Amino acid sequence: MTDPFIQSLNYLQSRSELNLTDLIDWCSIPSISSIATHQPDIQKAAEWAAQRLSQAGMQNVEILPTQGHPCVYGDWLKADRDFPTILFYGHYDVQPALDLDAWVSPPFEPQLRDGRLYARGASDMKGQALAEIVAIEAVLKITGKLPLNVKFLLEGEEEIGSRHLRGFIKENQYKLTCDYAIIIDAGMLNPDLPAITYGLRGGMRIFLEVYGPCTDLHSGVFGGTIHNPAQALIELIAGMHDEDGRVTLPGFYDGVRPITESERLDSARLPIDETYLLEMAGVAELWGDPDYSPYERTTSRPTLEVLAIQAGLPGEGVLNIIPAKASAALSMRLVPDQDPKAAYQSLIDYLQENAPPTIRWETRFTGGGRGVLVDRNTPYVKAMHRALQETWGTAPVYLRMGGGIPVVGMFQQELGIESVMTGFGLMDDNVHGPNEHLHLQTWQRGMQALVRFLFEAAM
């Protein structure tokens, strides 16, 4: 009799077209969590996932309410008590896709081109979540069981900062009890190099509004005597960085954990050099604090970024006005051991010190997660290491990631468990931007690695 592991891989192989069809089907649902009118799509995408989990053989599948968008849960808990329980995490919500002109094919009409599936959510992360489901399915169908206990959780608010997930975890602590979590929302640097992520940035969004005159004013009649709120906002934001790209907010860098010598040595071996980043970003020159390498700047150092700014009416229809208000959305990316509250306070302190008396300002924030560093030496990380190494034929690299995955900190704090973070999305998948896509060959390798992991983790 053939090795059940090999049989499971063959089963996966035989289902590859069906799996792709399933992914296309799921990606056709515009489950945009940030836009209220997409609420029915959120529900539809959750139901799709629940149905697919049941079909895969998972049990106790249910759609559980939260204070916001619902979670999808399922489990398979028939392995011996000696075996660990692992929790697979994913999310079924996606970013909006508003710059439609920039999309070659519509974001919610998935299209295959050059071995990639183009669709919003294909890489981030319906593709990743489906890889988890079909890996479990393959082992269940072939062996009739799983080599360890598995729980499965998909949330619907990852792209809006997992707003209600902490409350949900607290309320469902028993249901979610496990030994560790697997999170495949992290990614890879290139298709040939598997990766395990051990660091994440946390952070928050800050909305900053500047108010000037009581109403829009004629720019000719009043220009020269009124501090234009757009200009005041611009002046305030311009002062938040120095010429080298360092953040000037007082105390902003307090608590930042220094990069260790061993991390510096590790990261020097990563294929992330200036050329790589220039090509990924399509820019002529990089930017940022010259005391740190580009990799360090995007992963181990905090940042303050302008996500959006708006005042007046842009474009040809622009009005001859001094706008009454101007708004910006800023993003702080924070690293261990920065305190998010203190970082926010550093912005408030800066504004109190620098905002001129000619305008009024207001701020509020959403999110506020800490940066995370997980232990690289747990048996769970080692099992994933073996699974990736065997599948790719090369040892995975260890990465810190520039983005955040809020659930990792929540699992640490609310369930007391660590997470193993990996994933099969690539740096140039353009997640969050136009023409997001999934590299199908890497996706299939990812499923194989997950099948292998299920066997490895049980050993």
Residues between 408 and 427 with contacts to its own copies, criterion CB under 8 A = 427
328: which 2 tokens?
Answer: 């910006």
Number of residues that bind its own copies (CB under 8 A): 94
Residues between 292 and 321 with contacts to its own copies, criterion CB under 8 A = 294, 297-298, 301, 303, 305-321
Cβ at position 52, least distance to its own copies in Å: 27
Cβ at position 317, least distance to its own copies in Å: 5
Cβ at position 360, least distance to its own copies in Å: 8
127: which 2 tokens?
Answer: 């593709």
Pairing mode, if any, of strands 202-211 and 325-334? Answer: antiparallel
Q: Does 34 bind its own copies (CB under 8 A)?
A: yes
| CB closer to its own copies, 252 vs 380 | 252
Among 17, 80, 114, 285, binds its own copies (CB under 8 A): 285
* Piece in contact with its own copies (CB under 8 A), picked from 125-133, 135-143, 289-297, 449-457: 289-297
C-alpha pair distances (Å), 420 with each of 11, 16, 136, 381, 411: 26, 26, 17, 6, 11
Pairing mode, if any, of strands 71-76 and 149-155? Answer: antiparallel
Instruction: Single out the residue of 106, 162, 97 nearest to residue 403, CA to CA.
Output: 162
Residues between 325 and 384 with contacts to its own copies, criterion CB under 8 A = 326-329, 331, 333, 356-360
CA 215 to mean position of chain CA atoms: 39
Cβ at position 216, least distance to its own copies in Å: 4
Residues between 49 and 88 with contacts to its own copies, criterion CB under 8 A = none
Kindly state the helix (H) or strand (E) to which residue 243 belongs, with its residue range.
none
C-alpha pair distances (Å), 183 with each of 48, 149, 404, 405: 20, 16, 12, 9
The CB density around residue 281, as the number of other CB atoms within 10 Å, is 12
Q: Does 219 bind its own copies (CB under 8 A)?
A: yes
Among 435, 442, 444, 448, binds its own copies (CB under 8 A): 435
Among 44, 141, 175, 227, binds its own copies (CB under 8 A): 227
Cα(129)–Cα(124) distance, rounded to whole angstroms?
9
| CB closer to its own copies, 255 vs 379 | 255
Binding-residue pattern over the window 243 to 272 for its own copies, x denoting contact by CB under 8 A: --x---------------------------
- Which positions ≥6 away from 94 have C-beta within 8 Å? 30, 31, 32, 33, 120, 121, 124, 126, 159
Cβ at position 302, least distance to its own copies in Å: 8
* Piece in contact with its own copies (CB under 8 A), picked from 84-92, 221-229, 389-397, 413-421: 221-229
The type of residue at 450 is L
* Piece in contact with its own copies (CB under 8 A), picked from 1-9, 113-121, 260-268, 401-409: 401-409
* Piece in contact with its own copies (CB under 8 A), picked from 61-69, 76-84, 231-239, 255-263: 231-239
| CB closer to its own copies, 74 vs 404 | 404
- Which positions ≥6 away from 117 have C-beta within 8 Å? 20, 23, 24, 27, 110, 111, 127, 437, 438, 440
Q: Does 281 bind its own copies (CB under 8 A)?
A: yes
167: which 2 tokens?
Answer: 């409350």
Among 63, 64, 112, 237, binds its own copies (CB under 8 A): 237
Instruction: Single out the residue of 337, 341, 207, 190 nearest to residue 273, CA to CA.
Output: 190
* Piece in contact with its own copies (CB under 8 A), picked from 9-17, 142-150, 257-265, 399-407: 399-407
- Residue 383 in contact with residue 422, Cβ under 8 Å? no
Q: Does 403 bind its own copies (CB under 8 A)?
A: yes
Cα(260)–Cα(94) distance, rounded to whole angstroms?
35
Binding-residue pattern over the window 123 to 162 for its own copies, x denoting contact by CB under 8 A: ----------------------------------------
| CB closer to its own copies, 294 vs 336 | 294
Kindly state the helix (H) or strand (E) to which residue 61 belongs, with its residue range.
strand 59-64
Q: Does 323 bind its own copies (CB under 8 A)?
A: yes
